[in-house]
Amino acid sequence: MGNLKTRNMMFSALELTLILLVAAVLGVVAFRMLHLPPMLGYLTVGILIGPHALGLASNSSTTHLLAEFGVVFLMFSIGLEFSLPKLLSMRKAVFGLGMAQVVLTTGVAMLCGWLMAGLLPQTFDIGWGASFALGGALSMSSTAIVLKMLTERLELETDHGRRITGILLFQDLAVVPLLILAPAIALARDGFIVSPLLARTIVSSRDKLMADSLAAARFMPRGEALRPGDRLVQPELAATLQRIASEGATGFYNGGIAERLSAKVKVQGGLITVRDMNTYPVTAMRPLCTMWRGYTLLGAPPPMGGAAVLEMLQMADAAGVADAGSFTENGAAVAKLADIMRIGNADAGAYRGDPAALRVPAHGVVHPDFARSRAGLVGGALPDTAVAGNPWAFDTLAAAGNCGQYNPYPASAVLRTGSVNSAPRDTTTAEEGQSFTSHLAVVDGDGSAVSATTTVGVLFGSGVYTDGFFLNSGGSNFDAKTRGTNRYSNSTMAPTLILDGDKVRLVVGAAGSQYIQPAIMQVTIRMLAFGEDPAVALSAPRIHASSTMKEVEVEPGFSTSVYQALVTRGYSPASRVRDISFGGVHAVFVRKDGRRIGVADPRRDGTAAGW
């Protein structure tokens, strides 16, 4: 009856921040009067207002915001004490003594947790994960307090002061990956509610999931697919993310995770070894670059599919489609749009592959002169199958506009000395169908941006499940010319950055296999050429046309005049329901006043967030 935690008080993050600041001032004053380190006042205030005392901060999202506020304050106060040369001079203490202290403290805490659980199982039920977290927290919680004491005692520059400071700084460096991965770890460990869309994908992949006992245990418990409203908990994934947080990339590509992955692949008849995991190179590639309507376009280079997006946008401009003002009720513009997709898909299918294995003239494909030449076909004779153009003559031309400053993907002869890639190939890929691809678009307060697409191929990838993740189905995207060791498979992924001068204007990308590039192109035209609201542009209906067919897939929402124009042009419109596979676009649009607008495609379960 008298427990304060039963009171139904809810405070916003702003209100709690104000409460925290007032309480912190009082706490610091009190601790100074007692001749105790002032930072202990902050610690005490946090304990008192937390969920296990007064309970003023009991909402997890609010406490996360307060924790981030605390970390920023801590880093700021540490930064006041140091310069970069001083930090560099202390690197031995930081990475020597600091690492040893963190490892030792964490190890002792884990050992104590194991002993207490064994001696007093009814009282101490603490697992390895909790013991590890406790040890890490103990080893990384003292920086601000100790630095303040050393400063007040004028001992910061002494030998023992420098050694102590080195230990403390390593602790703070060790915290950074934990802060980044902590939300993902919590999501995997505590689970999340299954959405109707996820439930449908699980049902549609029942046979694949049931073939792997570990996957079945998580997604098909008791032989039944998880239903909407069920909670999906993934402890193996949480353990994997925790290991990456504590050990970095080494924790994934070496040790137990790599060994179990290799063993499982071999059981399936695969060839991946632990050594392959240890030595496989991750490559940093130069972006494709061209100009469009005054914007600088940066796209994903081969073997990814950025060239198609950049080429189709330029063709749309040259053919007058970008000046149409609308697609939804403009039949003539949509008919031209279908032509552009067929031409772009034909070029994308012919000129793709791993530049390490063959010459790919992607620089020529995205050059404005090549795009203009290809746009001349729009509205002309309609072939049963669109034929790829010849970009080789354009591949050696100088980069467009100001692209040179971004060190773009160069002419293929400069980049590699592989075999010539000139024979058109089938444009279909094993990615077709419902893809398991995700796109992340980010713009921070300084204007830095990331456009990242990742995939495991088709739904649940290969179906091989280990340590909480599925191995991808990308092996089927290799062809005879690109198959081999240390090769990258073909992909339609096309993360894109669009700059207005030196400012980011649009960060965009999509999921959806062969629907990715046309979806990005249509959304970009709607936002930047038609001036549509970002949310309207993403939810608006789309079309899709293949280079090998005259059938055009059409989502609901277009006027009847659009269907009539497609038929008049010689196409066969096919009605499509808006669903997961029709290109799930995620984007961040940056207005000229700097305001960032994040939008997620309603066709998928994505979300937009800002802080």
* Model confidence pLDDT, tens digit, residues 166-192: 555 555 555 555 555 667 777 778 888
- What are the CA-CA distances from residue 76 to residues 21, 69, 238 (Å)? 16, 11, 30
The reported pLDDT for the residue numbered 88 is 52
**pLDDT tens per residue across span 252-270:** 999 999 999 999 999 988 8
Q: What is the DSSP string of 250-285?
A: HHHHSSHHHHHHHHHHHHTT----HHHHHHPPP---
Residue 524 has pLDDT above 50, yes or no: yes
pLDDT category of residue 79 using cuts at 50, 70 and 90: very low
pLDDT category of residue 237 using cuts at 50, 70 and 90: very high
Contact 429, 492 (CB under 8 A): yes
Mean pLDDT of the chain: 79
Task: Say what percent of the chain tops pLDDT 90.
Answer: 48
Residue 451 has pLDDT above 50, yes or no: yes
What token pair was written down for 397?
Answer: 């031309």
The reported pLDDT for the residue numbered 1 is 34
Contact 150, 108 (CB under 8 A): no
Among 246, 278, 262, 31, which residue's Cα sits nearest to residue 140?
246
The C-alpha atoms of residue 98 and residue 101 are separated, in whole angstroms, by 5
More confident site: 77 or 443: 443
Superfamily of domain 288-600: Gamma-glutamyltranspeptidase, small (S) subunit (3.60.20.40)
pLDDT category of residue 283 using cuts at 50, 70 and 90: confident
What token pair was written down for 75?
Answer: 């880093």
The C-alpha atoms of residue 386 and residue 334 are separated, in whole angstroms, by 17
The C-alpha atoms of residue 300 and residue 261 are separated, in whole angstroms, by 29
pLDDT category of residue 392 using cuts at 50, 70 and 90: very high
The reported pLDDT for the residue numbered 430 is 38
More confident site: 156 or 49: 49
Residue 76 has pLDDT above 50, yes or no: no
The C-alpha atoms of residue 294 and residue 528 are separated, in whole angstroms, by 11
Residue 391 has pLDDT above 90, yes or no: yes
Q: What is the DSSP string of 521-557?
A: HHHHIIIIIS---HHHHHHS--EEE-TT-SEEEE-TT
Q: Which distant-in-sequence residues (6+ apart) come within 8 Å of 58 by Cβ?
A: 5, 51
Write out the residue limits of the CATH 3.60.20.40 domain(s) in the chain: 288-600
Residue 321 has pLDDT above 90, yes or no: yes
pLDDT category of residue 424 using cuts at 50, 70 and 90: very low
**pLDDT tens per residue across span 537-569:** 999 999 999 999 999 999 999 999 999 999 999
Residue 611 has pLDDT above 60, yes or no: yes
Task: Say what percent of the chain tops pLDDT 70.
Answer: 67
